[in-house]
Structure 1
Amino acid sequence: MIKVHGMALATCTSRVLLCLAEKGIDYELVPVDVAAGEHKQQPYLSLNPFGQIPAFEDEDVKLFESRAISKYLASKHKDTGTDLLRSGCLKESAIVETWMEVEAHQFNAPMRTLIHQLILNPLGGSIPNEKIIETELEKLGKVFDVYEQKLSVTKYLAGDFLLHG
């Protein structure tokens, strides 16, 4: 049984859970009490030495980093449901990889900062920093402009081919 160690509402854990759901793969979510610091102690550190969520187990495969876990799942189960990585076509695979990199390097950083400022800071009793919010919204707006332009000509960021498989 696949085990995902983390919190369902955490962005990186939900990235893995979404991939599992897309593929229809059964799994067990093993809750990690981040508030109590479980992710910074053994035995959790044996799964993710950086003390972050999620961590992942599939028989003898133990992984951390949500994007690596998702790629592993998409590759291992490429014949189940949609081939998310388009592994059968080098051109399509390269296009998918490009947009995955855009998410990782252009979208993720401003979005993560905004979540921290707008949600986590207030939950922790801190006041959001309006200057940081303004800066990150500007960055995110530029990403959305690129997304909108691309989506005006294709169904998905990586093209129209996901309709066929």
Structure 2
Amino acid sequence: MKLAEALALRADLQRRIEQLRSRIIQNARYQEGEPPAEDATDLLAEAERGVDRLRLLISAINTTNAAIDLGADGTMTEALAARDTLRLHHSLLTAAADAASPGGFRQMRSELRQIAAFDVADVRTRADEVARRLRELDGRIQQANWLNDLREEAGVIQQDD
């Protein structure tokens, strides 16, 4: 299984567990004399099996990420950390530029004028550069996801849905 497939399976498992959680809550109590719509005990057992599979899958993904060498980007784990911080940096820069941008207009000459604390154009240029680096890094990460196989422990991860 490719790493990208494992990541998709992880997302599916997480969604499935959340759906089961919701169904468990809906059926955890029922009115005396009326049968529940679904057996909450069976749903809980299925959810617990899903959580166990998810733990194994996340472990295999993390082990794989630590072993993949992306050259100048370091390991996949390091590249993912860099991507997360680039996203944060981009968000910070765009929020700062948005906050400093002129937003309103003065209705009267007596109103105080507001002045940007920094050069908005410069901050937007920096944000664009961070966004470019983020796109490039994300492309390399996605490529590696499809080129590298998941390191599985004796086939414990299988798709049975």
TM tier relative to shorter chain: 0.3 to 0.5
Greater relative contact order (Cα < 8 A, sep 6+): 2
Higher strand share: 1
If you compute each CA radius of gyration, which structure gives the higher value, 1 or 2? Answer: 2
Q: TM-score, normalised by structure 2?
A: 0.37
